[in-house]
Amino acid sequence: MTTGGAMREILLHGGSDEAFDRSAVFARRLAQSFGARLHVVYTVEDPLSAGWTAEMGVERLPEIHQAIEAEARDRLARLIPMDEQERLNVEIVVRTGAAGHELVRYTREASIDLAIVTAAPADDRGVALARALLDHGRCAVLVLR
């Protein structure tokens, strides 16, 4: 975290539902108010452990990442206009692996000051992501319901 409590790097965990849409609008306003850069990080569990190899070869993983990123850019463009994305220096990242681990790792690599995750009370996955960031991350964590 930067000294003096300044928020210069904000991470938003990517998603494809209405909760993500609300979180993206909130993260946009927060990034604007702090003059911060917005990182939207999507996580894909390890495709090998998910059994994807039966349907495709590992060599196609870059194509999948590109497709996820293209879909994420389209969705984000509906929520944050491209000119604002440029001003906020929005970066969309796709990471493969356990979501909690990948988010914690990314917060360290990108010197994230604030991580935003969505976790409804019955959302075990969102709660687990928030817990991983709280237990192992080095940034502030904001959980939106």
Q: DSSP secondary structure string, 48-74? A: TTTTGGGTS-GGGHHHHHHHHHHHHHH
Q: Which of 73, 101, 89, 129 is nearest to 8 (CA)?
A: 89
CB atoms within 10 A of CB 74: 9
Give strand ranges (E) for 16-137: 37-44, 91-96, 114-118
Q: Using an 8 Å Cβ cutoff, are 42 and 73 in contact?
A: no
Please write the tens of the pLDDT for every residue from 84-135: 999 999 999 988 889 999 999 999 999 999 999 998 777 788 889 999 999 9
Just give the CATH number of 8-144: 3.40.50.620
pTM score of the predicted model: 0.84
CB atoms within 10 A of CB 22: 14
The Cα–Cα gap between 124 and 76 comes to: 25
Please write the tens of the pLDDT for every residue from 29-75: 999 999 999 999 998 876 554 444 545 566 777 777 788 888 888 98
